[in-house]
Amino acid sequence: MLWSVLLWGLAALAPAADEAPAADKAPAANLTRHTVMVDGHPFAVWSKTGESPRAVMLLVHGRTWSTRPDFDLQVAGERLSLMDGLVGKGIAVYGVDLRGYGETPRDESGWLTPDRAADDVAGVLEWLRARHRNLGSPYLFGWSYGSMVSQLVAQRHDEKLSGLILFGYPVRPGVASSPDSLEPLRAATTREAAGSDFLIPGAISQAAIDAFIDGALTADPVRADWQSLEQWRALDAAAVNRPTLLLRGEHDPYAIPVVHADLFANLNTRDKAWVVIPGGDHAAFMETPRAYFLSIIESFVFRGRNGVEP
């Protein structure tokens, strides 16, 4: 795990939270919507890309909110979009709205399951591989619930991705599934829920929090419904053999250190790193640790290509 040690060294040289890299000061990239068919179902896939990207990445959102509020937050006078930050690092970036999120409709059942979500993401990865043949297979980034979906994808479709990035991994030891319901609840989302991931006072402006809440409620006014949660029991770190970066915000209450330690120890790859984001919480990539967060991802994606030997 030599590159893991080197990554820590690079992290120490990451820009301070208030020192945005020059590449991140460029104007925001244009957001493009694509419709991608997977097993006959239409998915909204959002993209941003620069002129000469060197890698491609697919982002998978969390349990409650879809791609645009999560990964492309736009606030006047502030740089908060993860998508813009990754474009500035030379990465063509895409985000998928899972079934029932954002502009992707539910299927006839009205439900989403872990297995269905993993198969859907695998289908979008295949579309991306064909679209960017010159860049190799995509990297897969999952946030919160999306990190669990992404792990299932890596376990079952490792040939479709170059590497795996897991942030805010929320698995709890001994989690039990709830009984399946006959009808989806389709509960309305709330402003309180939309602001619940911003945990550290001063880590993000009130204007940005308000913009996120407004965007989240507009994009996802109805909470998506999941069932068959026992399928999460298939999560098995030993079945992951792709290069993996595990990220945890220092103050993230949803990402338990002992769970991360067990996951990291059992990953079936020597090409892996576990990094704690100083001062970060569950939404670190749009808060003050953003520059640090981006530098870690850049080091992982381009290791061996920026003078860092794996």
pLDDT, residue 16, reads 47
pLDDT, residue 29, reads 83
Q: Which top CATH class is 2-301?
A: alpha beta
- pLDDT 10s per residue in the chain (310 long)? 434 434 444 444 454 444 445 456 666 889 999 999 999 999 999 999 999 999 999 999 999 999 999 999 999 999 999 999 999 999 999 999 999 999 999 999 999 999 999 999 999 999 999 999 999 999 999 999 999 999 999 999 999 999 999 999 999 876 666 666 789 999 999 999 999 999 999 999 999 999 999 999 999 999 999 999 999 999 999 999 999 999 999 999 999 999 999 999 999 999 999 999 999 999 999 999 999 999 999 999 999 775 444 3
Domain extents for the chain? 2-301
User: Exposed, middle or buried: residue 178 (CB in 10 Å: 0-12, 13-18, 19+)?
Assistant: exposed
d(CA 144, CA 168): 5
pLDDT, residue 186, reads 97
Identity at 202, one-letter amino acid code: G
What own/partner pairs with CB < 8 Å and gap ≥ 24 does 187-195 have? 187/222, 187/223, 188/221, 188/222, 188/223, 189/64, 189/216, 189/217, 189/220, 189/221, 189/222, 189/223, 191/217, 193/64, 194/64, 194/65, 194/69
Q: Which residue, chain included where needed, has tokens 């990953």?
A: 267
pLDDT, residue 306, reads 54
d(CA 121, CA 134): 21
Distance of CA 91 to the CA centre of its chain: 14
For the residues of 241-303, what is the DSSP string, one character each?
-S-EEEEEETT-TTS-HHHHHHHHHH-S-SSEEEEEETT--TTGGGSTTHHHHHHHHHHHHTT
User: What pTM, to 2 d.p., does this model score?
Assistant: 0.92
CA angle 271, 275, 276 (to 5 degrees): 165
pLDDT, residue 8, reads 43
d(CA 284, CA 288): 7
pLDDT, residue 13, reads 40
